[in-house]
Amino acid sequence: MLLADFGTSYCKLLETDSTEPPRLIATRSIDRSLKVDIATGHNGKRYTSHYVNELTALARGGLSLIKEESFTLLDCGSRDIKYVAYSGGKIKDMGWNAECGASMGFTIELLEKYYTLDFSSMDIPESSFSITCGVLGMSHIFDAVVTGVSEAEAVAKFVKGIAINAYNFAKRPEKVYLSGGLCDNPLFVGSFPCPVVSLGRFVLLEGLQASLNQNK
């Protein structure tokens, strides 16, 4: 069976009958006529008749991957942020922010390319900008650069501000399990004020597999 997480910027595809790892494809490159067996993600409904809500996929993926009964799993994507919190093996809380979390991951990727930065080699700043929206928050960068702050430092403060905003949205857990493309961004991961365990981009695919097992 073909499983897919259709994100805003990237799509993740997994063929369950294959030993090959999941494929990562830019959303703009996806064939519009593609049909999959089960899907989740922002654009998933157009590609399947069996759609699983993203929070449901995130929660089931977390249960499959995390060997703890109590945890907070935070998913930071291109377009939005969402989290699920478990206590004693049961869902305690969850949230989805598509407005104030607008395009945070997408904006970070654009800034890295525009300013030709390497987030893996940048220092984590001591302070950060107060960021509640990836798009609107860019004004902090421009204002800082005008006053003499380097572009790299300004962007680093922006990224740290996004990480802190996501942490606050998840209600400040003692430890965060992180899902999504920003797991690959050392500056973002290191900017959280708590320990972070990165699970990678394919947690929602893991949740789709769990959904299949429940239906058997």
Cα separation, 182 vs 80, in Å, equals 12
Cα separation, 198 vs 189, in Å, equals 8
Domain hosting residue 51, numbered range: 2-67+202-215
- pLDDT at position 59 is 96
Within this chain, do residues 127 and 206 fall inside the same structural domain, yes or no? no
Q: Would you say the C-alpha torsion 163, 161, 9, 41 has a positive or negative sign?
A: positive
Does residue 117 form part of some domain? yes
**Better pLDDT: 14 or 215:** 14
**Is pLDDT at 216 greater than 80 in this prediction?**
no
Within this chain, do residues 185 and 210 fall inside the same structural domain, yes or no? no
Does residue 86 form part of some domain? no
Within this chain, do residues 121 and 180 fall inside the same structural domain, yes or no? yes
- pLDDT at position 214 is 74
Does residue 209 form part of some domain? yes
* CATH code of the domain containing 174: 3.30.420.40
Within this chain, do residues 55 and 103 fall inside the same structural domain, yes or no? no
For the chain, give the mean pLDDT: 92
Reference 196, options 96, 68, 72; nearest CA is 72
Does residue 20 form part of some domain? yes
Does residue 8 form part of some domain? yes
Within this chain, do residues 133 and 156 fall inside the same structural domain, yes or no? yes
Q: Are 196 and 160 in contact (CB under 8 A)?
A: no
Within this chain, do residues 127 and 195 fall inside the same structural domain, yes or no? yes
* CATH code of the domain containing 48: 3.30.420
Q: Are 85 and 92 in contact (CB under 8 A)?
A: yes
Number of independent structural domains in the chain? 2
Cα separation, 146 vs 187, in Å, equals 23
Report the predicted TM-score, pTM, of the whole model to 2 decimal places: 0.92
Within this chain, do residues 113 and 59 fall inside the same structural domain, yes or no? no
Does residue 83 form part of some domain? no
**Is pLDDT at 142 greater than 60 in this prediction?**
yes
Within this chain, do residues 125 and 162 fall inside the same structural domain, yes or no? yes
Does residue 193 form part of some domain? yes
Within this chain, do residues 30 and 114 fall inside the same structural domain, yes or no? no
Q: Are 145 and 151 in contact (CB under 8 A)?
A: yes
**Is pLDDT at 126 greater than 60 in this prediction?**
yes
- pLDDT at position 183 is 94
Cα separation, 67 vs 120, in Å, equals 29
Q: What dihedral do alpha carbons 133, 77, 99, 117 form, nearest 10°? A: 20
Q: Are 193 and 167 in contact (CB under 8 A)?
A: yes
Does residue 171 form part of some domain? yes
- pLDDT at position 134 is 76
Within this chain, do residues 119 and 188 fall inside the same structural domain, yes or no? yes
Within this chain, do residues 147 and 192 fall inside the same structural domain, yes or no? yes
Q: Per residue in 31-79, pLDDT tens?
A: 999 999 999 998 899 999 999 999 999 999 999 999 999 999 999 988 8
Between 53-62, 179-188, 206-215, the lowest mean confidence (pLDDT) is in 206-215
Q: Per residue in 90-116, pLDDT tens?
A: 999 999 886 555 567 888 999 999 999
Within this chain, do residues 183 and 208 fall inside the same structural domain, yes or no? no
- Give first-to-last CA distance, the chain, whole Å: 13
